[in-house]
Structure 1
């Protein structure tokens, strides 16, 4: 018998593919895509994606924090934010990245998650802290990808290349830079709230193998905060913003991914 999550997954992938190919074909042929059609079909896929993630993450005995389920959750959130950003910034083309990422995350979560292995019973406050942390990481990963694209655009502009792939296909450098700071501000706020919840809900960072993760997260928070203040007060932008963004996410990755790998693949063997 075909399971309901499988049906939702297949329908979500159909919606994602429809949205992606419509947007891709219109951009390649230099036609203006219908933003409503792209957004509605992508959101339909995202709604079905959410049903799959919720059914797998939320269990009667706790929340499933399996690595592949986290990938599915964060990829869906990244697409959702990409759609929101493109509703008020001229950055619809960036959904050509967001849609395949969400589709890949959905497939990974559905095919490889192990719901019986990583279910954890936490307090409500700790679960909120974890979800907020995952959301902050997702947004700041988007900012990191955005920063890398800005670096490629800057290289093409400075080298005066005849074939400008990133400059031609994507919005202007100025619009992409504004979007970067939108993402940084969103991620910084989420990270701030997540850290606040963490300090009130986690009793012993050392006993729970969280000391280094917390330290890296705080240092990363300071880096992002310094960049946002520098942008607001001193006009920091361009490649300085790119470097700060990459440094901040590198610190987050060292703390989060490192602890996840150690806990799941070494300590739990």
Structure 2
């Protein structure tokens, strides 16, 4: 948690001092945070026998994936404006998981197909969550550009470059989400059973939203607000699908 906060502070410092060309202490702190986070999650989730996939553990796994992917992304091009939020949220989830431990035992070692399905689901959610963050950043920069207020912001990637990366992420995320849904339909007989059908339906609706978005961009040239709202709506639907019932069962009814 300390390394996440240090990385977030370093990102804020670099945003306020764009001329800073010293060592990338923020990147070093972020790498330390990611490594320690992974070790902590392994110790918390992997048990003998079984795995503890409580809601906060799953959320913490997703935050680790998002933080790692965003760290790679910020090295490729400048999305530093998002990094304090990403690292700060990962640190808060880690704190919540430490202070409010939950327990939801599964045995994935006996069902590798379920492990594949869950892994694909977590990766697709992470990719599409990052896409929604980029969409929000794109909307923010577009708004500032129209107001002629970009001069007081740190250096940002060109809007066309940001939009190109956004649609690449959405495309890859949809491909992985398609594999996740397909693996569930093929391997999980209980996918549409009572108590789980809403998760499958919300996930399929989110998939439809993203597919329509990609089609609209490719065939009709959709850009701007349509892309932003569709990306955020798809991310919200996936969040409700993955965490809605778990939140009710593990928090409200516990």
Normalising by the smaller structure, the TM-score range is: 0.7 to 0.9
Aligned to 2:37: 49
Aligned to 2:28: 40
2: CA distance, partners of 1:53 / 1:16: 15
1:244 aligns with 2:192: no
TM-score by length of 1: 0.81
TM-score by length of 2: 0.85
CA spacing shift, 1:145–1:90, aligned 2, 3 Å: closer
1:61 aligns with 2:46: no
CA spacing shift, 1:75–1:178, aligned 2, 3 Å: same
2: CA distance, partners of 1:265 / 1:100: 23
Please list every run of 5 or more consecutive structure 1 residues that lacks an aligned counterpart in the other structure.
1-12
CA spacing shift, 1:43–1:186, aligned 2, 3 Å: farther
Equivalent residues of 1:71, 1:108 under 8 A apart: no
CA spacing shift, 1:68–1:89, aligned 2, 3 Å: same
Aligned to 2:169: 183
Measured after TM superposition, the shift of residue 34 of structure 1 is 5.6
1: CA distance, partners of 2:171 / 2:74: 16
Please list every run of 5 or more consecutive structure 2 residues that lacks an aligned counterpart in the other structure.
none
1:202 aligns with 2:188: yes
- Structure 1 residues 79-88 or 169-178, which shifts more? 169-178
Measured after TM superposition, the shift of residue 208 of structure 1 is 5.4
Higher relative contact order (CA 8 A, sep 6+): 2
The two structures, once aligned, show a CA RMSD in angstroms of 2.6
Aligned to 2:240: 254
Aligned to 1:88: 76
- Structure 1 residues 122-131 or 253-262, which shifts more? 253-262
